[in-house]
Structure 1
């Protein structure tokens, strides 16, 4: 073997060994089930979703809150129960981009940051389409941090309450997360 080939082979073996050790240092894979409520308020003194951009010559109003091309910035409480006054367990922060030309559908790019309980300081991330007018739908969980390191999974959503006039939306989340702690 030539000297360069031997070095390349040694580098390859060392890379495989280090990758193998990295996998084992993650620990055992866990499955966690989460349940919480998303409490959006679009029209108030302290909205949890703010229109950041809209298409030219488009009016955003109570009958059309998410016209094609609208971008909302989200900072929305997550609660234990459906009542907006129930205990806050975290916040959803991120973007909602209206990507449905023919029907109300947004792309969610969000982080669910938990602020209490066992998962305080940890978060899960979703990047998924969200057909907001469908009562039941699913989001893809694509990552996480803290106790949800290397997360993947899904969130089943059920809209419990929606009022376009008041801008209030309450969505129940049942999340299954596969992760390493």
Structure 2
């Protein structure tokens, strides 16, 4: 090795040592960052138990499932008509309805109001009656006042019992999970209005 090569090697070692010293200095002087959750979970802190709560409401649909308006103040309206003409389904494929239906304590539309079911449904079955349903149950009474449950799923409406998953919650139902069962109580062939019972099964902290 020549004198020049030895000098370059020594300079390289010195540069490497300086870099390591600088890195150690930066690491040592850097402030410590403690990762703490910005969201506190009171249920965890209080060691509260998770409980299964079951209740049911009646979803009163004061509008038909096609394009015939029932009454002067329908709660469900057609926003997109099916582009398919002469469809064999009374809900044509592609049809979309927006609704804001009453949630009541019984099948009587004038019974005690628990809240509103707000959302939309669309006909997604080409050869069967199957709806895509997305809705929020917005509760307006008692301990559930201000809380919501979001339901999203497939609803084959001609089946006796249907099941939809709960995909979101707020308020007293925070961190909850569950599902709902649907059963059609009555269906008016003249107006196409329907009354559907929703049995709600929700597991949440209390």
Q: TM-score, normalised by structure 2?
A: 0.73
The residue correspondences of 1:118-133 to structure 2 (distance < 5 A) are: 118-133=143-158
The alignment covers a number of residue pairs equal to 174
1:44: which partner in 2?
Answer: 71
Kept in 2: contact 1:27–1:180 (CA 8 A): no
Kept in 2: contact 1:71–1:98 (CA 8 A): yes
Bigger relative contact order, structure 1 or 2 (CA pairs below 8 A, ≥6 apart):
1
Q: Which of the two has higher C-alpha Rg?
A: 2
How far did residue 24 of structure 1 move?
Answer: 2.8
Aligned partner of residue 138 in structure 1, secondary structure: strand
- 5+ residue gaps, structure 2: 1-19, 64-69
Pair 1:50–1:93, CA change in 2 (3 A): same
2:170: which partner in 1?
Answer: 145
2:51: which partner in 1?
Answer: 30
Pair 1:147–1:27, CA change in 2 (3 A): farther
1:18 corresponds to which of 37, 40, 51: 37
Kept in 2: contact 1:124–1:151 (CA 8 A): no
- 5+ residue gaps, structure 1: none
Once residues 100 and 113 of structure 1 are traced to their aligned partners in structure 2, the CA distance between those partners, rounded to angstroms, is 28
Kept in 2: contact 1:142–1:151 (CA 8 A): no
Q: TM-score, normalised by structure 1?
A: 0.82
* 1:32-90 Cα shifts (integer Å, max 9, x gaps): 21211010011221111100002325479xx71x2111110010001101112211111
How far did residue 151 of structure 1 move?
Answer: 2.5
Pair 1:87–1:20, CA change in 2 (3 A): closer
1:136: which partner in 2?
Answer: 161
Aligned partner of residue 24 in structure 1, secondary structure: helix
The residue correspondences of 1:1-181 to structure 2 (distance < 5 A) are: 14-15=34-35, 17-18=36-37, 22=41, 24=44, 28=48, 29-42=50-63, 43-58=70-85, 64=90, 66-180=91-205
